[in-house]
């Protein structure tokens, strides 16, 4: 390693000045990038957008990481929580030369530099935040809170990688960030890489002080020591000493990481691995204007965005801006042709070691397809529709177990779950692997081990962040969650879907494995949890995502679930939502039938239809429980009114319903009409909120003929069938609705409707007395003849 000399410190400082200059210049200048002429209004951008306050700290960290990489040849990926500091990161990427490799117009010459500062934050230029088009980044930092879980996800199973993660002190107040500190309890130093958290304690957020900024060093030390980190604090407002301390701190952190890893690799059992972290306590907006019009700027929240808002129209402010920019002495940092003088960039690493070129940040380059077991081998035998029952997720668990087995040597697959793998009945997975845990183990622990590949923490945010980091670095995974609580990460999904959408528009970003959700323990079967656990709203969120990204599957039984899961694990760049019950449910399709049905996405179930190609009414369903009710409704109708022609249609792939113009999975008009006709009434039993279906059907012929039954926000701790009754999706409700929609049978319908109403009344009194559903419901089984129940 280079020893720290005054000259070395000068070089780090020179680089820092250059990055600070270019960061500030991007906020203001359209021209005159080197200030070779006096600054005047025509050099200033018409709209001043972006953030200054965080930049000097980001630049300081980048500079010291560069120096460390140069000295150690370490593979370091940078994850920047305060993504609003994009101009700082862009300045560093420009200086290290990676930006020009991706954007050839941003070269080291005067036109290149002019374009570099000009294009920032103008329409179709670089956006104000980091984004998929920023080389070397896997994290945008637009919505704050996710950097640390992303960093930990990125280094899992990447032993050569160090993720340096800059956490804003305001960001550190968010829930997702606060819980992510615990990720250190999952990282195996022998087989994974390391995260170096750097808390960027500039004391302020957007308009007020950060909480941690007002905590003493001692309090911060206690807090983070309590989380299990070894803490080093670097603080000050004099660049020389701060550079020295930071140099030492990154060396210390690097050596601590390597010694932990070496110890673990040499077979030493490491309990509570105490990874290093750095707290950098410096001024927000450091080196910027100290004050303006008597208002203090440097070291306050006033530096957060544009410190001098109106230079083009206020000559005094123009002078202040010029003084500020000139304080970095650009003429000493760059020559007159716009090239940085060699000393300015002496600390930059070269080649793929440059942060902007870290290969892990374009994870698709590393993507090895999963080796998948043949899913049809896991089939549930279904000799006839409804003849068997099975727990879908338990069957899927066997398949996922073998995905672990088959990919053991690649170590590129993990399962993420907030404490529910067993509750979700996926415990066959534990025959292949366990849950990761590095903190002390006790004798009674179950399925916990250092090298486990199941990631369980009771933080949906952390599960989501880990998985995103894991996928973004070219690996595969599944996130299994209770349906009711996945909306906790709605917002993270919003952001991830945006990342995927934009990534597809960046030609050098390689495709990633899809983000796969398995939502089980769903709304319809919360027998012992009740109303709080009944929330199917994640579907609503995914429905609104770009059609290039969003996929939603509602497999009606275990064989369909297996087929869908296999498909999702092979797909790229999607968000796949699978909703499937973990309960004992009737099985409808043989594996061959399931395969064909899932390939089509939606099809007629002939065995439950008696329409002879000309239905009076169509019974449709999406979701396992609604399908049971819909099939039972056709059964009831056949029994009570055999000459009513009913067609049964099941939908696995929800986007088949929407017009082909709006989603590539939309059925074309002809196929849609083959299933639903163009004018016959459709009674639709849907897993989630009914309006989702109405919205999807908007451009289909006669959408008003679709009568959707779904979750109506009614629920309590009650029997499975009562949930369906409360939400009017029970077989009786569906059958009554069907009878009411067909004029041809109106005369006969009344008596049958009365009979069904009477069964609903009987149900209500029966469950209160017997605390379970009526035998005719509990013991109901599909039969083609629909023989009346005695």
Ligand X SMILES: Cc1ncc(C[n+]2csc(CCOP(=O)(O)OP(=O)(O)O)c2C)c(N)n1
Residue 495 and residue 178 in contact, taking contact as beta carbons nearer than 8 Å: no
Residue 685 and residue 623 in contact, taking contact as beta carbons nearer than 8 Å: yes
User: Judged by CB, which is closer to ligand X: 121, or 412?
Assistant: 121
For the four alpha carbons of 13, 15, 20 and 25, in that order, the dihedral sign comes to: positive
- For the bound state, the minimum distance from the C-beta of residue 634 to ligand X, rounded and expressed in Å, comes to 48
Phi, psi of 515 (to 5 degrees): -90, 110
- For the bound state, the minimum distance from the C-beta of residue 139 to ligand X, rounded and expressed in Å, comes to 13
- For the bound state, the minimum distance from the C-beta of residue 152 to Mg ion, rounded and expressed in Å, comes to 22
User: Judged by CB, which is closer to ligand X: 200, or 476?
Assistant: 200
For the chain, the straight-line distance linking the first and the last C-alpha, in angstroms and rounded, comes to 87
- For the bound state, the minimum distance from the C-beta of residue 60 to ligand X, rounded and expressed in Å, comes to 12
User: Judged by CB, which is closer to ligand X: 139, or 200?
Assistant: 200
Q: Which of ligand X, Mg ion, none binds 144 (CB below 5-8 Å, type-dependent)?
A: ligand X
- For the bound state, the minimum distance from the C-beta of residue 210 to ligand X, rounded and expressed in Å, comes to 5
User: Judged by CB, which is closer to ligand X: 55, or 256?
Assistant: 55
User: Judged by CB, which is closer to Mg ion: 85, or 666?
Assistant: 85
Tokens at 258, concatenated: 């390597």
User: Judged by CB, which is closer to ligand X: 170, or 189?
Assistant: 170
- 627: Cβ–Cβ under 8 A, 6 or more apart, which residues? 556, 557, 588, 621, 650, 685
Q: Which of ligand X, Mg ion, none binds 477 (CB below 5-8 Å, type-dependent)?
A: none
User: Judged by CB, which is closer to ligand X: 204, or 482?
Assistant: 204
- For the bound state, the minimum distance from the C-beta of residue 339 to Mg ion, rounded and expressed in Å, comes to 34
Q: Which of ligand X, Mg ion, none binds 525 (CB below 5-8 Å, type-dependent)?
A: none
Q: Which of ligand X, Mg ion, none binds 171 (CB below 5-8 Å, type-dependent)?
A: ligand X
Instruction: With CA atoms as reference, report the closest residue to 648 among 675, 679, 673, 677.
Output: 675
- Residue 728: count other Cβ atoms within 10 Å of its Cβ: 18
Residue 29: strand pairing partners:
44
Alpha helices, H only, 330-436: 330-333, 392-406
User: Judged by CB, which is closer to ligand X: 32, or 54?
Assistant: 54
Q: Which of Mg ion, ligand X, none binds 251 (CB below 5-8 Å, type-dependent)?
A: none
Q: Which of ligand X, Mg ion, none binds 84 (CB below 5-8 Å, type-dependent)?
A: ligand X
User: Judged by CB, which is closer to ligand X: 462, or 516?
Assistant: 462
Burial call 577-614: b when 16+ CB within 10 Å, e when fewer = bbbbbbbebbbbbbbebbbebbeebbbbbebbbbbeee
Q: How far, in Å, CA of 495 to CA of 501, rounded?
A: 10
Strand-pair category, 602-604 with 646-651: antiparallel
- For the bound state, the minimum distance from the C-beta of residue 99 to ligand X, rounded and expressed in Å, comes to 22
Residue 247 and residue 64 in contact, taking contact as beta carbons nearer than 8 Å: yes
What is the DSSP-derived secondary structure letter of residue 489? Answer: G
Alpha-carbon distance values, 691 to 96, 326, 567, 676 (Å): 52, 59, 27, 19
| Residues found in the chain | 790
Residue 358 and residue 474 in contact, taking contact as beta carbons nearer than 8 Å: no
Angle (deg, nearest 10), helices 147-155 and 460-472: 50
User: Judged by CB, which is closer to ligand X: 306, or 738?
Assistant: 306
- For the bound state, the minimum distance from the C-beta of residue 227 to Mg ion, rounded and expressed in Å, comes to 20
Phi, psi of 379 (to 5 degrees): -60, 150
Burial label, 145 (beta-carbon count in 10 A; 0-12, 13-18, 19+): buried
- For the bound state, the minimum distance from the C-beta of residue 464 to ligand X, rounded and expressed in Å, comes to 14
Residue 145 and residue 462 in contact, taking contact as beta carbons nearer than 8 Å: no
User: Judged by CB, which is closer to Mg ion: 147, or 478?
Assistant: 147
Q: How far, in Å, CA of 696 to CA of 196, rounded?
A: 46
- For the bound state, the minimum distance from the C-beta of residue 57 to Mg ion, rounded and expressed in Å, comes to 8
User: Site residues (CB under 5 A) for Mg ion?
Assistant: 168-170, 202
- For the bound state, the minimum distance from the C-beta of residue 704 to ligand X, rounded and expressed in Å, comes to 41
- For the bound state, the minimum distance from the C-beta of residue 76 to ligand X, rounded and expressed in Å, comes to 20
Q: Which of ligand X, Mg ion, none binds 718 (CB below 5-8 Å, type-dependent)?
A: none
- For the bound state, the minimum distance from the C-beta of residue 491 to ligand X, rounded and expressed in Å, comes to 8
Q: What is the three-class DSSP state of 15?
A: helix
User: Judged by CB, which is closer to ligand X: 22, or 201?
Assistant: 201
Q: Which of ligand X, Mg ion, none binds 289 (CB below 5-8 Å, type-dependent)?
A: none
Alpha-carbon distance values, 262 to 6, 160, 700 (Å): 32, 12, 63
User: Site residues (CB under 6 A) for ligand X?
Assistant: 53-54, 82, 84, 143-145, 168-171, 174, 200, 202, 204-206, 210, 284, 304
- For the bound state, the minimum distance from the C-beta of residue 166 to ligand X, rounded and expressed in Å, comes to 8
User: Judged by CB, which is closer to ligand X: 43, or 284?
Assistant: 284
Residue 192 and residue 156 in contact, taking contact as beta carbons nearer than 8 Å: yes
Residue 117 and residue 30 in contact, taking contact as beta carbons nearer than 8 Å: yes
- For the bound state, the minimum distance from the C-beta of residue 502 to ligand X, rounded and expressed in Å, comes to 17
Tokens at 140, concatenated: 């945008």
> Which residue of the chain is nearest ligand X when measured via CB?
168
Q: Which of Mg ion, ligand X, none binds 53 (CB below 5-8 Å, type-dependent)?
A: ligand X
Q: Which of Mg ion, ligand X, none binds 145 (CB below 5-8 Å, type-dependent)?
A: ligand X
Alpha-carbon distance values, 484 to 35, 477, 492, 533, 688 (Å): 57, 21, 16, 5, 11
Q: Which of Mg ion, ligand X, none binds 97 (CB below 5-8 Å, type-dependent)?
A: none
User: Judged by CB, which is closer to ligand X: 53, or 715?
Assistant: 53
Residue 483 and residue 521 in contact, taking contact as beta carbons nearer than 8 Å: yes
User: Judged by CB, which is closer to Mg ion: 281, or 700?
Assistant: 281
- For the bound state, the minimum distance from the C-beta of residue 93 to Mg ion, rounded and expressed in Å, comes to 22
Q: Which of Mg ion, ligand X, none binds 232 (CB below 5-8 Å, type-dependent)?
A: none
User: Judged by CB, which is closer to ligand X: 487, or 703?
Assistant: 487
- 292: Cβ–Cβ under 8 A, 6 or more apart, which residues? 307, 308, 317, 320
Q: DSSP string of 171-233?
A: GGGSHHHHHHGGGGGS--TTTS-EEEEEEEE-SB-SSSB-TGGGS-HHHHHHHHHHTT-EEEE
């Amino acid at each position: 390693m280079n020893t720290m000399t005054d000259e070395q410190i000068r070089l780090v400082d020179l680089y820092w000045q250059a990055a600070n200059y270019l960061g500030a210049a991007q906020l203001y200048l359209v021209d005159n990038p080197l200030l070779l002429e006096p600054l005047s209004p025509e050099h200033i951008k018409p709209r001043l957008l972006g953030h200054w306050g965080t930049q000097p700290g980001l630049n300081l960290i980048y500079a010291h990481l560069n120096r460390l990489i140069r000295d150690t040849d370490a593979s370091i990926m940078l994850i920047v929580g305060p993504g609003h500091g994009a101009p700082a990161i862009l300045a560093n990427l420009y200086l290290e030369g990676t930006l020009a490799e991706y954007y050839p117009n941003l070269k080291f010459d005067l036109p290149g530099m002019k374009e570099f500062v000009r294009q920032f934050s103008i329409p179709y230029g670089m956006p104000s935040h980091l984004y998929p088009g920023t080389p070397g980044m896997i994290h945008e930092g637009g919505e704050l809170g996710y950097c640390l879980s992303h960093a930990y996800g990125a280094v899992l199973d990447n032993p050569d990688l160090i993720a340096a993660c800059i956490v804003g002190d305001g960001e550190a107040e968010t829930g997702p960030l606060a819980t992510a500190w615990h990720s250190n309890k999952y990282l195996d130093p022998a087989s994974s890489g390391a995260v170096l958290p750097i808390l960027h304690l500039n004391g302020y957020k957007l308009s007020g002080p950060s909480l941690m900024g007002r905590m003493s060093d001692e309090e911060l030390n206690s807090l983070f020591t309590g989380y299990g980190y070894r803490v080093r604090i670097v603080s000050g407002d004099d660049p020389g000493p701060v550079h020295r301390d930071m140099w030492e701190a990154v060396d210390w952190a690097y050596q601590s990481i390597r010694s932990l890893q070496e110890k673990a690799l040499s077979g030493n059992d490491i309990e509570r691995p105490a990874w290093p972290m750095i707290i950098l306590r410096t001024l927000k907006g450091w080196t910027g204007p100290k004050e303006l019009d008597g208002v203090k700027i440097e070291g306050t929240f006033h530096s957060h965005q544009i410190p001098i808002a109106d230079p083009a129209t206020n000559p005094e402010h123009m002078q202040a801006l010029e003084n500020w920019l000139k304080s970095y002495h650009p003429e000493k940092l760059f020559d007159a042709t716009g090239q940085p003088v060699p000393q300015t960039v002496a600390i930059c690493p070269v080649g793929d070691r440059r942060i902007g070129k870290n290969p892990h940040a374009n994870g698709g380059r590393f993507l090895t397809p999963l080796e998948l077991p043949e899913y049809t081998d896991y089939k549930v035998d279904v000799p006839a529709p409804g003849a068997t029952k099975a727990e879908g997720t338990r069957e899927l668990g066997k398949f996922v177990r073998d995905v672990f087995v088959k990919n053991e040597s690649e170590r590129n697959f993990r399962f993420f779950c907030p404490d529910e793998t067993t509750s979700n009945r996926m415990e066959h997975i534990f025959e292949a692997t366990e849950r990761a845990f590095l903190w002390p183990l006790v004798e009674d622990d179950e399925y916990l081990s250092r090298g486990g590949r199941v990631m369980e923490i009771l933080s949906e945010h952390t599960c989501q962040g880990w998985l995103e980091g894991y996928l973004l670095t070219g690996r595969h995974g599944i996130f299994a969650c209770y349906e009711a609580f996945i909306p906790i990460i709605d917002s993270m999904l919003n952001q991830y879907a945006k990342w995927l959408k934009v990534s597809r528009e960046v030609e050098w970003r390689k495709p990633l494995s899809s983000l796969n959700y398995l939502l089980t323990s769903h709304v319809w079967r919360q027998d012992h949890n009740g109303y709080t656990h009944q929330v199917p709203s994640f579907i609503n969120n995914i429905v609104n995502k770009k059609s290039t990204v969003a996929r939603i599957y509602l497999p009606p039984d275990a064989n369909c679930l297996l087929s869908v899961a296999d498909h999702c694990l092979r797909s790229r760049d999607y968000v796949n939502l699978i909703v499937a019950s973990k309960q004992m449910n009737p099985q409808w399709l043989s594996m061959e039938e399931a395969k064909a049905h899932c390939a089509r996405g939606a099809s007629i179930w002939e065995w439950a239809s008696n329409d002879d190609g000309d239905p009076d009414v169509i019974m449709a369903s999406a979701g396992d429980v609604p399908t049971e009710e819909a099939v039972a409704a056709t059964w009831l109708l056949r029994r009570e009114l055999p000459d009513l022609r009913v067609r049964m249609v099941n939908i696995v792939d929800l986007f088949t319903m929407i017009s082909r113009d709006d989603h590539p999975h939309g059925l074309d008009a002809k196929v849609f009409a083959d299933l639903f006709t163009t004018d016959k009434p459709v009674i639709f039993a849907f897993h989630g909120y009914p309006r989702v279906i109405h919205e999807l059907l908007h451009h289909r012929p006669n959408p008003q003929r679709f009568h959707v039954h779904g979750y109506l926000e009614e629920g309590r701790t009650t029997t499975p069938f009562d949930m369906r009754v409360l939400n009017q999706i029970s077989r009786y409700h569906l059958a009554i609705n069907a009878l009411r929609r067909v004029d041809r049978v109106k005369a006969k319908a009344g008596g049958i409707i009365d009979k069904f109403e009477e069964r609903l009344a009987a149900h209500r009194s029966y469950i209160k007395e017997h605390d379970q559903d009526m035998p005719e419901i509990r013991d109901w089984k599909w039969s083609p003849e629909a023989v009346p129940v005695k």
